[in-house]
Amino acid sequence: MNEIVTKIEHDQTHCALAAKDFSSGAHPVWCLGCGDFGVLAALERGLVKHGRPPHEVVLVSGIGCSSRLPGYMSTYGFHGVHGRALAVASGLKLVRPDLDVIAVGGDGDGYSIGGNHFIHACRRNIDMLYVVMDNRVYGMTKGQPSPTTEPDWDCDIAPGGIGLRPFNPLAMAITAGANFVARAFAGDPNELADMIVEGLRWPGFALIEVLSPCITFRPEQAAWKKQVRPLPLSIERDRAAAAAEALADDGLGIGVLYRGERAPVVTPPQPQIAVADIEREFVIGRS
């Protein structure tokens, strides 16, 4: 841990990159006040601290307001289909282990339609970072309950609430095998930026679950600013203790909950394929 902090400080001193180098310049179409702005700022700042240039980083997303994020950054990006960000990111990391791969998206994208990929990405423990912007609602499709929605949240599609116990992403990640598990708040981009650097550098699959308010369909989430507080414990290696801590948590504790020591999947260096060779395979009518 100390080694990681020292490396962060080292990079801050010597790195010539600036946050603007990671911006695509495109103007986000998010609602004013959406928590995803804080996550975007944190990713830009975190990648500056990390010190690798934009062309050595790839952001992969699914579909949703939050999944638009790769379009706002200058790294390589892949805006995929709903729930499939982790499948694409896993394949990419296996064939290009030299790149830093970051999957991003929402709670609907990652925990509902993409839930199976989430469990198995934790289990496979491929070395990458997954940032989930959790607003406990489907923002893009106008406010349906998601897997993390509180059971009594009243909305048009579920009057009186859905009455189901919410999914616990941190407990799920720890028990399925993720090696680094944390929760952050989008309203504190500097803390999140440091967590992003640590998650990127920690070997194996890292989950950062970000409380990212949907100010349009869940305006009451503006209160998160006053409700979030540091997690009581940060647990190293002891997976059972970390899972117990995650189950006891009320969903508003912020910090790194678990740092594991599982060895990540490592792939051997892959042969470089020239783009011209790939293009040749698509030429119609070649003999």
C-alpha closest to that of 141 among 162, 155, 154: 155
C-alpha closest to that of 111 among 140, 132, 141, 80: 132
- Residue-level length of the chain: 287
Which listed residue (39, 47, 48, 65) binds ligand TPP by CB under 6 A? 65
Decide if residue 107 touches ligand TPP (CB under 6 A): yes
First vs last C-alpha separation in the chain? 58
Which listed residue (135, 175, 179, 221) binds ligand TPP by CB under 6 A? 135
Amino acid in the structure at residue 117: H
Answer with the entry of ligand TPP, ligand SF4, none that 61 interacts with (C-beta below 5 to 8 A by kind).
none
Q: Which residues pair with 105 in a beta bridge?
A: 132
Decide if residue 69 touches ligand SF4 (CB under 6 A): no
Site string for ligand SF4, 203-232 (x = CB under 6 A): -----------xxxx---------------
Amino acid in the structure at residue 9: E
Q: Which of residues 74-103 bind ligand TPP (CB under 6 A)?
A: 82
Mention every residue, 6+ apart, whose C-beta is less than 8 A from residue 141: 108
Decide if residue 155 touches ligand SF4 (CB under 6 A): no
Scanning 30-38, 118-126, 154-162, 186-194 for contacts with ligand SF4 by CB under 6 A, the matching segment is: 30-38
Decide if residue 139 touches ligand TPP (CB under 6 A): yes
How far, in Å, are 16, 88, 236 from residue 80 at the CA level? 31, 8, 34
How many chain residues bind ligand TPP (CB under 6 A)? 20
> Collapsing DSSP states into helix, strand and coil, what is residue 210?
strand
Residues found near ligand SF4 in the complex (CB under 6 A):
30-31, 34, 36, 65, 135, 139-140, 214-217
Residues found near ligand TPP in the complex (CB under 6 A):
63-66, 82, 105-109, 113, 133, 135, 137-141, 146, 214
